Chains A and B, each alone.
Chain A
Amino acid sequence: MHPKRVYVELLARYSKDGTMVPAMLKWEDGTMYEIDRVLDVRRAASEAGSMGIRYTVRILGKERRIFFEDTYSETGKPRWFVESEVNCS
Chain B
Amino acid sequence: MKPEESTLRQELYAKRQKIYPRQVSGIFASMRITAVLVLLGLYYGLPWLRWDGQQAILFDLPARQFHILGLTLWPHDFIYLSGLLIIAALSLFFFTALAGRLWCGFACPQTVWTEVFLWIERLVEGERNQRMKLDKKGSLQKKILLKSLKHSIWIILSAWTGFTFVGYFTPITELGTKLLSFSTGPWETFWIFFYGFATYGNAGWMREQVCIYMCPYARFQSAMIDSDTLNIVYDSGRGEPRGARRRRDDPGELGLGDCIDCQLCVQVCPTGIDIRNGLQYQCIGCAACIDVCNTIMGKMKYDKGLIRYTTENLLHGGKSYLLRPRVIIYAIILSFSTGLLVHGFTTRNSVELDISRDRNVLYRELENGDIENHYNLKILNKDRIQHQYGLSVEGIESANLKLDNGPLQVAEADVHTFQLRVIVSPASLRSRVNAIQFKLWALDDASISIVSDARFMGP
Do A and B belong to a common assembly?
no
The chain B residues found within 8 Å of chain A, CB to CB, are none
